[in-house]
Amino acid sequence: MITLITDFGLADPYVGIMKGVMLSIDPCAVIVDLTHAVDPQDIAGAAYAIDGAYRFFPEGTLHVVVVDPGVGSDRRILCVSVRGHLFLVPDNGVLTRVMASARPDAVFRVENKGFFRSPVSRTFHGRDIFAPVAGHINKGVPIHRLGREISVQEMHSLALPVPKISRDGQITGEVIRVDGFGNLITNIDNALIRKIRGCAGNREGGPDVCKDVCVTIGKRRIHGLADSYQQVSSGSLLAIIGSSGFVEISVNLGSAARLCNAGRGTAIQVSPG
């Protein structure tokens, strides 16, 4: 199985061309589109997307990420083995989130031109390098044949925002993604909320959820974490632990991004209720 994340969008034939190259090498490949709507050149957005998705696939899956502002330069392309999964990525920090929770088992440079298309375009390595290499890996080529092994320390990483807890128990984080419904997904997870003062003995939602908190975005304050979108009236703002395990700010039957005039980078505070 091969998954695909790109910033290509669907207006152009680029994604389809990549699939055609893969299937020409391995007609039995199962190719899953994770997203092609990463903002152009948004490496951090791709880092959050792959980290939130890969663990839901079976071991042995090859994850191909082509969000590659350095295409055509001397930036490296890597094949990385992590917990039974393989990642074929540009060496630009797109695996920063994945590596924060799982150390790679092996990292190989992709430099064996015998697995590339020829000639290689200066602007479309997705077609001429990533896709044919993915096809060959999926068909059984061992990754050590792609090039020489390098250390994990040689990989590039991103300086992604990290939430902070103040002495009085307030967590300050930010919006890291806005999904298609206008939900504001933050970098504050439920485990972090459980560390703030007052939550240890006040978990109304059970042993794993502390609901007695106040969530602030701009001048808006939300008291408590909801169990569902329907817990508030239509058009009302709510905070909830989303499917990714992070605090999300949402609007029942509406868009929190539009209502709060917020987007990626907007500050969020969570404090004891």
Give mean pLDDT in consecutive 10-residue pieces for the chain, a chain of 273 residues.
97 98 97 96 96 96 97 95 97 96 95 97 97 98 97 95 90 94 94 75 53 90 93 95 93 96 95 83
* Nearest CA-CA partner of 33 in 15, 59, 56: 15
Segment 243-265, tens digit of pLDDT: 988 999 999 999 999 999 999 99
Angle at 143 between CA 42 and CA 30, to 5 degrees: 65
- Give the integer Cα–Cα distance in Å for 107 and 97: 16
Alpha helices (H) in the chain, listed in sequence order: 14-25, 43-53, 96-101, 125, 131-139, 190-193, 256-259
Phi and psi (nearest 5°) for 42?
Answer: -90, 85
Judged by DSSP in three states, 100 sits in: helix
For residue 250, the surrounding DSSP H or E stretch is strand 246-251
Coarse DSSP helix, strand, coil percentages of the chain, rounded to the nearest 5 percent = 25, 30, 50
Hey, how many other C-beta atoms are within 10 angstroms of the C-beta on 36?
Answer: 17
Contact yes or no for 185/175 (Cβ under 8 A): yes
Contact yes or no for 154/99 (Cβ under 8 A): no
pLDDT of residue 182: 96
39-to-104, 196, 225 alpha-carbon distances in Å: 26, 34, 30
Give the contacts of 226 (CB within 8 A, at least 6 positions apart). 232, 238, 239, 240
Torsion of CA 9, 246, 160, 74, to 10 degrees: -40
Q: Which two structure tokens, joined as six digits, stand for 89?
A: 């990525």
Domains and CATH numbers, the chain: 2-154 (3.40.50.10790), 164-272 (2.40.30.90)
Judged by DSSP in three states, 120 sits in: coil
The phi-psi region of residue 208 (left if phi > 0; otherwise alpha if psi is between -120 and 50; otherwise beta) is: alpha
Hey, how many other C-beta atoms are within 10 angstroms of the C-beta on 69?
Answer: 13
pLDDT of residue 200: 53
Please give the model's pTM, rounded to 2 decimal places. Answer: 0.89
